[in-house]
Amino acid sequence: MRHIKQCSDRESEGYEMAKLVINEYQELGKINEEIYGHFAEHLGRCIYEGLYVGEDSPIPNTRGMRNDVVQALKEMKIPVLRWPGGCFADEYHWKDGIGPRENRKKMINTHWGGVVEDNSFGTHEFMELCEQLGCKTYINGNLGSGSVQEMSEWVEYLTFDGVSPMADLRAKNGHEAPWKVDYFGVGNENWGCGGNMTPEHYADEYRRYQTYVRNYHPENPIYKVCGGPNVDDYAWTKGVLETTHRNCLPALHGNMDGLSVHYYVHPEGWETKGSATEFDDAVWYRTLSKALYMEQLIERHGAIMDQYDPEKKIGMIVDEWGCWFTVEPGTNPGFLYQQNTMRDALVAGVTLNLFNKHCDRVKMANIAQMVNVLQAVILTEGEQMILTPTYHVFRMYRNHQNATLLQSHIQTREIGVEEIYPVPDLQESVSRDQEGNITITLNNLSFTEDREVEVIFAELEPEKIQGTILQGEAHAYNTFQEPERVQEEAFTSFTRKGTHITFTMPAHSVLQLRVS
Ligand code: AHR
């Protein structure tokens, strides 16, 4: 084991100070706000306890939704929420979750922990939650074990505003007006838990099912997401696109707006996964290197998409991503509850920067999952709630939402411990919002070393600079006893001269600078 490059190499290579060069005149595309999206599945304590406690709960709530959690998510500026799964989606029958709650079916959540699912959180509750959050809606339909009719009727129930059996049923259940469904997923992981299909078979099914995902509001159409690959399954991407694009569908646009991609980071591999809180420097770099692998996935799946869709009309929808570690000791293995350290913050920081930089193809992403599951932004215990380091990264990056990506380049050196898992020491993205403010988000991936950085604009001489930083010991995380151990702090230790800003970035930290 060795460092790929020792620190002493730096001076001889002229790397004393890393230069981050920004061309504020070169605009590279719009960063969709949906890149900062989230995912909530009927899994463990994500929906029940984490988001929904019911109207009679002693935990303060509004129509059953936890006030503290809703407030925190609004402050983070959540743009879109995906529901009800995941694997749960392809076993979910939406009619079980409507009507008087006392009459709703109780069943076993066979996929996740074998607990009773009482369906008390269903369609009306999800739409209510999104209304309270002020976010867009992304519903995932059941293609694996549901019927075309069931999917079609769900869309009718949700969105039709004339006289029809489903619109009447919605009104009978207390919601006369239709809702707006922004995104609709036609199945989930249909190569696995969604039916173990071949790409060709799924793609044929996709063609059929999506036909009946009707757009009742053509001026405001539903964005349809086709089920894409797992990680590096390029044959799936190719097979699905070949079949969906065969003999037809020049009208395909409108029939497929997005293609999903799922990728989780497991430092020790899928079987072993690895601890969320205990790791050494080698595992630190391995985790970050695996997170950065996302770029290769975007580029290679993107290259296949380019063959069928050179104008990039179909969005890449990374609707599941994040760290998947071994569950916290003593918790239900089916609940996927894990802690969240500065390492998760860096994974979120580098991944969101990658999505920004590939915003020509990546149109939405949804971290898994929002509360109490996998790389959550919020953890709860009874009436207590804590914000994780990942939450703070999403909050620090919120000004990138709907901003314009600017050209930037940072000088880096390769660091790491294991030869096959190198990472750059720094990584950035830069955007400008509609008011003209420039947001720089920068990560120092080093386990041990601070780094001096010099930001250089083409011509801009910053007048106003505001910064926030997330830093702490690499293993640091928030607990219910010590909820503010890792949190955003003001960052003012920079100097500015003309077009230059200089500062030192602490080891393993995430920085956000807002410049105008
Ligand atoms: O997020 C947990 C699970 O991971 C989802 O249910 C599934 O889609 C994926 O395999």
**Confidence at residue 254, expressed as pLDDT on a 0 to 100 scale:** 66
* Residue 140 in contact with ligand 1 by CB distance below 6 A: no
Give the distance (Å) from ligand 1 centre to CA of residue 88: 8
Task: Name which residue sits closest to atom 2 of ligand 1, judged by CA.
Answer: 86
Sorted by where each begins, the domain ranges of the chain are: 8-27+406-515, 32-402
Ligand 1 site, residue 189, Cβ cutoff 6 A: yes
φ/ψ of residue 487, rounded to 5:
-155, 160
Whether the Cβ atoms of residue 304 and residue 296 lie closer than 8 Å to each other: no
Q: Whose CA is nearest to atom 8 of ligand 1?
A: 86
Q: Is 189 a catalytic residue?
A: yes
**Residue of 38, 39, 41 to mutate, ligand 1, most atoms within 8 A of C-beta:** 41
Cα(86) to centroid(ligand 1), Å: 5
CA 29–ligand 1 middle distance (angstroms): 30
- Token digits for 154? 């769900």
Annotated catalytic residue within 24, 49, 125, 320: 320
Calculate how far, in angstroms, residue 125's C-alpha sits from the geometric centre of ligand 1.
22
pLDDT in tens, the chain (516 residues): 344 444 344 444 555 799 999 999 999 999 999 999 999 999 999 999 999 999 999 999 999 999 999 999 999 999 999 999 999 999 999 999 999 999 999 999 988 999 999 999 999 999 999 999 999 999 999 999 999 999 999 999 999 999 999 999 999 999 999 999 999 999 999 999 999 999 999 999 999 999 999 999 888 899 999 999 999 999 999 999 999 988 665 455 569 999 999 999 999 999 999 999 999 999 999 999 999 999 999 999 999 999 999 999 999 999 999 999 999 999 999 999 999 999 999 999 999 999 999 999 999 999 999 999 999 999 999 999 999 999 999 999 999 999 999 999 999 999 999 999 999 999 999 999 999 999 999 999 999 999 999 999 999 999 999 999 999 999 999 999 999 999 999 999 999 999 999 999 999 999 999 999
The two beta strands, 423-424 and 414-415, are antiparallel
Note whether 73 and 37 are within 8 A (CB): no
Contact 229, 191 (CB under 8 A): yes
CB 358 within 8 A of CB 300: no
Residue 77 has a pLDDT of 98
Paired residues of 408 in beta bridges: 22
Catalytic residue among 34, 189, 428, 488: 189
Cβ-proximal residues to 497 (8 Å cutoff; 6+ apart), any chain: none
CATH class for the domain made up of 8-27+406-515: mainly beta
Query: What is the reported pLDDT for 15?
Result: 54
Ligand 1 atom 4: the closest Cα is on which residue?
Answer: 86
The answer to whether the CB of 368 is under 6 A from ligand 1 is: yes
Active site residue 419: no
Of 488, 509, 479, which Cα lies nearest the Cα of 395? 488
> What's the CATH class of domain 32-402?
alpha beta
Sign of CA dihedral 402, 403, 405, 410: negative
Residue nearest to atom 7 of ligand 1 (CA): 86
Q: Which atom of ligand 1 is nearest to the CA of 189?
A: 8
Report the nearest atom of ligand 1 relative to the CA of 89. 6
Pick the atom of ligand 1 nearest to 88's CA: 6
Nearest-CA residue for ligand 1 atom 3 is 86
Question: Can you tell me the distance from the alpha carbon of 164 to that of 157, in angstroms, rounded to the nearest whole number?
Answer: 9
Instruction: Say how many Å lie between the CA of residue 320 and the centre of ligand 1.
Output: 7
Are residues 511 and 505 in contact, defined by beta-carbon separation less than 8 angstroms? yes
327: which 2 tokens?
């569950």
| Nearest residue to 73 (alpha-carbon basis) of 320, 337, 346, 376 | 376
Q: Which residue, by CA, sits nearest to atom 5 of ligand 1?
A: 86
**187, 202 Cβ separation under 8 angstroms:** yes
Contact 159, 181 (CB under 8 A): yes
Residues 6+ apart with CB under 8 A from 246: none
Q: Is the CB of 344 under 6 A from ligand 1?
A: no
Both tokens assigned to 47: 């929906």
Dihedral sign (CA 346, 348, 354, 356): negative
Which 8-state DSSP code applies to residue 148? H
Per-residue exposure over 29-52, b if at least 16 CB sit within 10 Å of its own CB, e if not:
bebbbbbbbbbbbbbbbbbbbbbb
87 lines ligand 1 (CB under 6 A): yes
What span, in angstroms and rounded, lies between the C-alpha atoms of 452 and 494? 10
Q: Can you give the pLDDT at residue 368?
A: 98
> Residue 315: CB within 6 Å of ligand 1?
no
Picking from 476, 513, 510, the residue whose alpha carbon sits closest to that of residue 496 is: 513
Q: CB–CB of 35/348 below 8 Å?
A: no
